[in-house]
Amino acid sequence: MSDANAPWLVVGLGNPGPDYAANRHNVGFMVADLLAERIGGKFKRAQKAQAQLVEGRIGPPGPSGRRVVLAKPMSYMNLSGGPVTSLRDFYKVPTANIVAIHDELDIDYGALRLKLGGGDNGHNGLKSMTKSMGADYHRVRFGIGRPPGRMQVADFVLKDFSSTERKELAYLVDRTADAVECLVTEGLERAQSTYNS
């Protein structure tokens, strides 16, 4: 069990810059942006790492809320591990209190899966994080489905959500943010039983 007073580091994975903002690969950034809005913060460039940060509390108001650092690495997806490890060390966050929010090809669009540890399944952001600090962090996996026909995976993840997908996207991002809050405040089992689909 992790130290109850230790902060949480919640990392939305994505690529920086307006060209990538609406890509499937950037759904982690979308969820992080919504979480920042919910805690009343705005992302600012961190001095201590190549990332944008918001610090605040998730959960009920007052001391029972969990201290959280929300981060969006600005290093591009395949180098996410460096900024995340720097932030972990600076804030003294146990690896079990780190949450990566990311797109997942092997899950249908909009389905969610939460887990602790595991492989990277070819996801470059996870690959970089695991190489930097081991695999024992939480993942909140947002399903984007497989590419249609013969489209390459790299092309698919770097394309914007389709017009059909966008109809549900705001709701799904909102639900993913709820799942992250539940994970941080009530633990993995509760979050899995409520949100895994």
Active-site entry in 25, 102, 123, 138: 25
Gap between the Cα atoms of 63 and 123, Å rounded? 36
CA diameter of the chain? 52
Gap between the Cα atoms of 110 and 124, Å rounded? 20
> Bridge partners of 114?
140
Q: Known catalytic residue: 25?
A: yes
Identify residue 56 by its one-letter amino acid code. Answer: G
Q: What does the block give as tokens for 191?
A: 């979050």
Gap between the Cα atoms of 63 and 138, Å rounded? 24
Report residue 101 CA to chain centroid gap: 2
| Complete edge-to-edge strand list for the sheet that includes strand 8-12 | 44-45, 51-58, 66-73, 8-12, 98-104, 138-143, 112-116
Mind telling me the catalytic residues? 25
